[in-house]
Amino acid sequence: MAVRKKKLIGIEEAAELFGKSIHQMRQYKSKGLLKVADYQGNKDLYDMAEVILLKHLIHEMRVTEGLSLAQIARRLDQMMGRAA
């Protein structure tokens, strides 16, 4: 089985994919929604596929379930088996 190589992106591209500002993306990171996949120097890098998935999951949880960002972070950690 082939291993998928992650396409890593910076916070600017992540913000563009989300349709949010860089400031909002940093808030998502501080609340545990957005997890850093790797680093390049002092620059955080994110898995592009995960960013796209998170955009849809976060939107769905906010709109249909009315969850707060903290609640969404906990749910995502459970769903994706991520360390909190």
Domain holding 70: CATH number? 1.10.1660.10
Answer whether residue 75 is part of any domain.
yes
What predicted TM-score, i.e. pTM, was given to this entire model? 0.82
Answer whether residue 2 is part of any domain.
no
Residue 16: domain span:
8-80
Side by side, the strands of the sheet bearing 43-47 are 8-9, 43-47, 38-40
Q: Is the pLDDT of residue 1 over 70?
A: no
Q: What is the pLDDT of residue 20?
A: 94
At 40-69, the pLDDT tens digits run 999 999 999 999 999 999 999 999 999 999
Q: Is the pLDDT of residue 16 over 90?
A: yes
66 or 83, which is more confident? 66
Q: Is the pLDDT of residue 3 over 70?
A: no
Strand spans (E) along 1-84: 8-9, 38-40, 43-47
Answer whether residue 1 is part of any domain.
no
Answer whether residue 31 is part of any domain.
yes
What is the C-alpha to C-alpha distance for residues 33 and 76, in angstroms, rounded to an integer? 7
Q: CA distances (Å), 45 to each of 10, 38, 39, 64, in order?
A: 5, 5, 5, 30
For strand 8-9 and strand 43-47, is the pairing parallel, antiparallel, or unpaired? antiparallel
